[in-house]
Amino acid sequence: MNESERYIGVFDSGIGGLTVMKSILDKLPQENIIYFGDTAHVPYGTRSRAQITDYVIADVNFLRTFALKALVIACNTADSIARTAVEAMLPVPVFGVVEPASRRAAAVTRNGKIGVIATNATVGSGAYEAAVTAVNPELQVLSKACPLLVPLVENGRFHRGDPVIATVLQEYLTPLREAGIDTLVLGCTHYPLLQDLIAELMPGITIISSSEAAADALADGLAAQGLSAAQGGRRAYYVSDNAAGFEAAARTFMGGDLGGAVTLIKPED
């Protein structure tokens, strides 16, 4: 296997990273990809830094058993909390979601006020503030933890006309709208499924999907390092629990077939 045909390892706390995977497959269908979803331990976003870091280290220990050419942290929470630990674990380039979304938001804002919605752990980490102000220290980031959104999306409550999701989004988004943000980062893997509903509640505000921004940054990064595959397209999925549930949910998160088998493993082994 030559260098460019090696795998891109992609991991998330569970199924949410499939929104990143979808964006990667749309952009880079020729790449060989191994996805790991830590479905035994989802959600990460409500847990402590120490616990999230331990889970992430186990995730990467599993993925590095494959011949990798790059690793994608396809989870905002994992990227926010454990990026430095991941980079220290393996010699290949590490891509994430936070930095690409932050750079995109910094590039498009006109009034310098950027909203970020994410899990408790991501907001608590301050990772988005750090990444945005690294681009331009003048920019202001208003973050809002939205802990009800992941369970609502995972329970299928993301459709237009659902009064529960409408009420919850209204409560989370109103303060950001009233604060005058002109750009809103969807800083969680699950939120692209809510993008249309969020856009309706945030007229005139530019919405940035961290999943899409991550895939664009991966494509640019691979090309810049001469690592883009010319052919391939092999995909395999591994989960730490409930492979059948993962397959069922995958259709919702990917909008189609996984294009590869799902295997149950124990990453700690």
Catalytic residues: 75, 188
Smallest separation, CB 2 to ligand DGL (Å): 32
Instruction: Select from 11-19, 28-36, 65-73, 196-204 the region that touches ligand DGL (CB under 6 A).
Output: 11-19
Is residue 119 part of the contact set for ligand DGL (CB under 6 A)? yes
Residue least distant from ligand DGL (Cβ):
45
| Residue 63: CB minimum distance to ligand DGL, A | 16
Give, as ranges, the residues between 131 and 190 that touch ligand DGL (CB under 6 A).
150, 188-190
Q: Which is nearer to ligand DGL, 81 or 114 (CB)?
A: 81
Closest to ligand DGL by CB, 69 or 144: 144
Q: How far is the CB of 228 from ligand DGL (least distance, A)?
A: 26
Out of 4, 13, 23, 109, the only residue in the binding site for ligand DGL (CB under 6 A) is 13
CB of 229 to ligand DGL, least distance (A): 26
The whole-angstrom separation of Cα 60 and Cα 46 is 20
Q: Which residues bind ligand DGL (CB under 6 A)?
A: 12-13, 16, 42-45, 75-77, 119, 122, 150, 188-190
